[in-house]
C-alpha cells in the first residue's frame, strides 16, 4: 500500500490490475461510497469527493480506476460484465464488516453502476447514476471516436481515448444484451440527468422510467445543465447523494 496523500490510501488489486483510492472512516461500520468514473477518465475525476469533509464525516469512500483507465490495465478495453466482475470481487474483499455500499457512477460509470444493480450483488445497498447511457436506441457517436477506430489514425489519439472509443462503439450492442433485465432491479436507484446533456441524451431518463420498477426508482432532472454534473454541480450532487441515502 502506497501513501500519496494523507487524506487517502492508494491500493492495487493485483488479480485485475485494478488501482483504487480508499478513505476509511474511523467508524468501521460506516457505509461505503463507491465512485465509478466515465469515459475517458480515471479515479482523479472524483478526487475532490474523497477529500470532501461532508462525505468523510459519515462514510468510507472508494474510487476506482476502471479497467483500461488510469493505472488499471491502462489502454486495454474491457466490456461491462468484466468491469462488474472486477468491482464485485474487490468489494467482497474490502467490505469486512458487512457495511452498506452505495455506488455513484457518472456517464459510462453510471451504466456500469446500473448493470451492477441488475446483478444484485449482496454487498449493494443503493445506486446513483449520473447522466448514464442506458438506452441502446439513443447512443451517440463522437467524431474523435472515429480517429481511434481505424488503424491509420488510431496512433493519433491517447490510449485513454482509444479505450473510450472502443467502449463507445461496442456500447450499443452491449446495452442490448441486458435491455430487458432492468426490471430485475430490487434495490433503490436514483437517476440524475441534465436536460441539456449533449453527450448522453436526456431521453435516457425516460428509459429508466419505462424499464426500472417504480417502487425502486427515483429520478432527478437538473434543468439547464449538461453532461458534466459531478464537476459543474458538485454541491448539488453531494446534496442529492446524501438525501438519497437518508431516504433509502
Ranges of each domain in the chain? 9-246
Residues 6+ apart with CB under 8 A from 33: 49, 55, 59, 60, 61, 62, 102, 104, 241
Continuous segment of H or E residues that includes residue 244: helix 234-247
β-strand 8-13 against 2-5: which pairing, if any?
A: antiparallel
Task: Check residue 116 and report its DSSP letter.
Answer: H
Alpha carbon distance 163, 215 (integer Å): 36
Alpha carbon distance 200, 83 (integer Å): 20
Count helices and strands (H / E) in the chain: 10, 9
Alpha carbon distance 80, 61 (integer Å): 22
CA-closest candidate to residue 145, choices 158, 161, 129: 161
**Set of cell numbers at residue 33:** 461510497
Protein fold of 9-246: Rossmann fold (3.40.50)
Residues 6+ apart with CB under 8 A from 238: 49, 52, 54, 55
Full pLDDT tens readout for the chain, 248 residues: 333 455 899 999 888 888 999 999 999 999 999 999 987 777 889 999 999 999 999 999 999 998 877 667 666 778 899 999 999 999 999 999 999 999 999 999 999 999 999 999 999 999 999 999 999 988 665 545 454 454 554 444 554 555 555 555 556 788 999 999 999 999 999 999 999 999 999 999 999 999 999 999 999 999 999 999 999 999 999 999 999 999 98
- Report pTM: 0.87
Amino acid at each position: 500500500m502506497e501513501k500519496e496523500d494523507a487524506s487517502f490510501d492508494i491500493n492495487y488489486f493485483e488479480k485485475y490490475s485494478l488501482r483504487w483510492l480508499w478513505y476509511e472512516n474511523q467508524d468501521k461500520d460506516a457505509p461505503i461510497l463507491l465512485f465509478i468514473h466515465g469515459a475517458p477518465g480515471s479515479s482523479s475525476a472524483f478526487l475532490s469527493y474523497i477529500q470532501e469533509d461532508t462525505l468523510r464525516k459519515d462514510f468510507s469512500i472508494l474510487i476506482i480506476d476502471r479497467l483500461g483507465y488510469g493505472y488499471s490495465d491502462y489502454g486495454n478495453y474491457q466490456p461491462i460484465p468484466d468491469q462488474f466482475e472486477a468491482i464485485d470481487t474487490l468489494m467482497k474483499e474490502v467490505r469486512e464488516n458487512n457495511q452498506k455500499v452505495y455506488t455513484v457512477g457518472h456517464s459510462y460509470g453510471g451504466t456500469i453502476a446500473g448493470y451492477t444493480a441488475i446483478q444484485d450483488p449482496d454487498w449493494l445497498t443503493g445506486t446513483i447514476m449520473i447522466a448514464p447511457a442506458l438506452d441502446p436506441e439513443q447512443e451517440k457517436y463522437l467524431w474523435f471516436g472515429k480517429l481511434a477506430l481505424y488503424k491509420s489514425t488510431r496512433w493519433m489519439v491517447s490510449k485513454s481515448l482509444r479505450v473510450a472509443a472502443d467502449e463507445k462503439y461496442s456500447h450499443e450492442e452491449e446495452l442490448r444484451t441486458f435491455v430487458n433485465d432492468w426490471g430485475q432491479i430490487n434495490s433503490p436507484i436514483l437517476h440524475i440527468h441534465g436536460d441539456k446533456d449533449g453527450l448522453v441524451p436526456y431521453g435516457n431518463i425516460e428509459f429508466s422510467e419505462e424499464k426500472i420498477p417504480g417502487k425502486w426508482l427515483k429520478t432527478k432532472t437538473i434543468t439547464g445543465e449538461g453532461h458534466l454534473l459531478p464537476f459543474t454541480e458538485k454541491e448539488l450532487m453531494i446534496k442529492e447523494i446524501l438525501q438519497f441515502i437518508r431516504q433509502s
